[in-house]
Structure 1
């Protein structure tokens, strides 16, 4: 049985919007290794529609020479959670509606982990339904003062357990959370 591993770039104040602010903090070798470990264990990518539509044009133009992650993003089966997308344009891809039971079954069907990047609306639902096995937050040393937020004001409470942490020399901190016991 695979795990659902979520990878989010976030700011100190919790913003998870389009992460252009990450460009001010170039990846360190350790950060590249840890991010690669997340994608390396995955044999499927689970994305919300908006992230899928944003990733497609960006990744489909990249080769391994441009970015070592390009083959993973371009060649790995994508599962796009959407009630509006009917024809995927960046494949291989399968579209499915959000259904917690179906996504739990998908974890059993995929030979490896399911990697989630961005997809805030989807991730909030996955957390609420107890489907996230690992939440990897890469916290950047910047505050934006605006969202969207992974945990927006007035949203449901989420209690998680810290599984690990790594501080990088660029000021980014990688926090790994899992389901809270009991």
Structure 2
């Protein structure tokens, strides 16, 4: 069974929405290696509809000469959780799973080497609630935005996690890895 690993760029005040705010910060060798390790351990990508619709045009037009991650994103099997999207024909190797269901995600984990999730806040909240996240990788940027979609909005269900690793990157970005509470 593969591990399900979530990757989020997040501000100090918890915003994950449209992370164009990461642009002023260096995406150096250490961060490249950290994200590369996440993708290298996965043979499936699981995305919510909104993230899929944002990623598909952005990644499908990139090649490895533009971004070393392009090969992973374009060639890896992608599974989209959506109750409104009927098909995902606009990006190579994409399949719509239908509405969220923990059993479909468990089956995906069982039949994969690893599952990578990026963005997809609503999906990630459901995965956490159902105990399906093995590693939560938060790349915390040293800024606040004051508004925007948060990973854990006010009134969200409580979660107890265990910090398994923490490292500091160039520009003051912290990579914190959480797993299920011990």
Q: Paired residue for 2:110?
A: 108
Aligned counterpart, 2:18: 18
Cα distance in 1, alignment partners of residues 160 and 153 from structure 2: 14
1:153 corresponds to:
154
- CA distance in 2: counterparts of 1:106 and 1:62, whole angstroms: 26
Match of 1:70 in 2: 70
Matched residues in 2 for 1:152 and 1:91: separation? 33
TM-score, normalised with respect to structure 1? 0.97
1:153-177 CA-to-partner distances (Å, cap 9, x unmatched) read: 0110011000100001211000000
- CA RMSD in angstroms comes to 0.7
Distance in structure 1 (CA, Å) of the matches to 2:31 and 2:53? 26
Measure the CA separation in 1 of the matches of 2:135 and 2:167.
15
Q: Deviations over 1:66-115 (max 9, x none)?
A: 000001001100010001111102121111121101211110112x1100
Q: Which residue of 1 aligns with 2:39?
A: 39
Shift of 1:147: 2.1
Between the aligned partners of 2:92 and 2:131, the Cα distance in structure 1 is 28
2-structure distance, mates of 1:123, 1:103: 12
Whole-angstrom distance in 1 between the partners of 2:141 and 2:161: 20
Give the match's secondary structure for 1:139.
strand
Query: How many matched pairs?
Result: 180
What is the match of residue 133 of structure 1? Answer: 134
Instruction: State how far apart, in whole Å, the 2-side matches of 1:108 and 1:41 are.
Output: 14
| Residues 165 and 173, structure 1, Cα contact 8 Å, conserved in 2 | yes
Structure 1 CA distance, aligned partners of 2:103 and 2:60?
31
Structure 2: distance between partners of 1:59 and 1:121: 21
The runs of at least 4 aligned residues of structure 1 exceeding 4 Å deviation read none
* Residue of structure 2 in register with 1:174 after alignment: 175
8 A Cα contact 2:77 2:93, kept in partner: yes
